[in-house]
Structures are given as C-alpha cells and as structure tokens.
Amino acid sequence: MRPEDIKAISKVLVRSKPAVRRVMLLSGSDEEKELVWKLWPQALMTDMSEAEWNLYGTHPAAWIGIDLVMVCNTFMCSKDPGLWLDNIAQSSRYVLIQDLAIAKRRQDRHLAPETGDFARYSVSSHGIMGETDPGHLVYDLSTSGYRVIDCESYRIDDGVGLKFAALLDLSRKTRK
C-alpha cells in the first residue's frame, strides 16, 4: 500500500462520510486498518485474509450486516467484477474499491493475466477511463448498476499509471 493510495482513500471517505459501524477489510494492510480506526474509532473491524474470502461465491455468516467493505489492490484479479460487486452487495451497504485504471506493468509480460492480473477499471462518471489493453478486461464502475458516491484518481509510476479510490452505494442496483 503506497502513501498515495491511503491519501486517496482517506479523501474519498472523509468527503462522503458514510455511516459505518462494521467494516470488513479484504486482505487489509496496516495502513488501511489505521485509517479505519482514525475515521471510525468505535467501529467493529474485521480483516479477512485471502484464504478466507471468495468473491465468486457465497459469503459466510460473518459478512452479514457489514456497512463497508474495503477492497484495495484486489479487483484487478477479478475475471467477473460485476459478480464480485453483486456478491459484496448481498451483505454490505458500501464498498470502497481502490485499484488500477492504467498500469505501467502492462508492458511487463510476467505481470500479465496469466499471473492473476485480469482487469482495469473506469469510472466514467468521474472522468476516469481505464486502459484498453487487449490483455485486460476494462470494467466501468459507473455502469455497474450501483451508484458511485465519490471517486479520487491519482498518477503513479512517474505519471504512466493511474489509480483510483471509489466509494459505491450498493443498497440498490439499477438496471444496466
């Protein structure tokens, strides 16, 4: 987790101020945990390791009643981002996604989809357009059917890469 990742996540959460009592981090970093404690000192926080979560399938009882799921540097591994969002929506009101729109590493063959790096993201409602690399799925969160509450984009890798943090309201899905 880079300092600029936490800065963008913090900006989105501070601006949007979602009402949160229960937070779940999926493979959360120490920096994410510190931010949650800073923003919601009374919140119950659960951090699930990669071995404990599967966004392609159903969730255990621990997921019931979560207010916010934070998924950072993880959605790039999804072969079906819409399914992942729908599955998170079964148990959470909000999701904070922090991930890649454009990555310098697309030129690096050893970091191609065969290593689990499948997707890039757009948030067209906020002017963020993911790369159109034929090796990656590009998924627009703005057309997911869930409302994008706020979004922050920022450059990485000497300006070559673009990342974002976006907060989505999962309480009601509209038709695509």
Q: Where are the domains of the chain?
A: 3-169
Whether pTM > 0.85 for this model: the answer is yes
Helix (H/G/I), strand (E/B), else coil: 107? helix
150 or 157, greater pLDDT: 150
pLDDT of residue 175: 63
- HSE on the CB side for 160, CA within 13 Å? 7
Q: Average pLDDT over the chain, rounded to whole?
A: 83
Q: What is the mean predicted confidence (pLDDT) over 117-132? A: 76
| pLDDT tens by residue, 45-76 | 999 887 777 777 766 666 678 999 999 988 77
Q: What is the mean predicted confidence (pLDDT) over 10-28? A: 93
Query: 16, 150 in Cβ contact below 8 A?
Result: yes
Superfamily for domain range 3-169: Vaccinia Virus protein VP39 (3.40.50.150)
- 24's CB contacts (< 8 A; 6+ apart) are 45, 46, 47, 48, 62, 63, 66, 68, 69, 70, 92
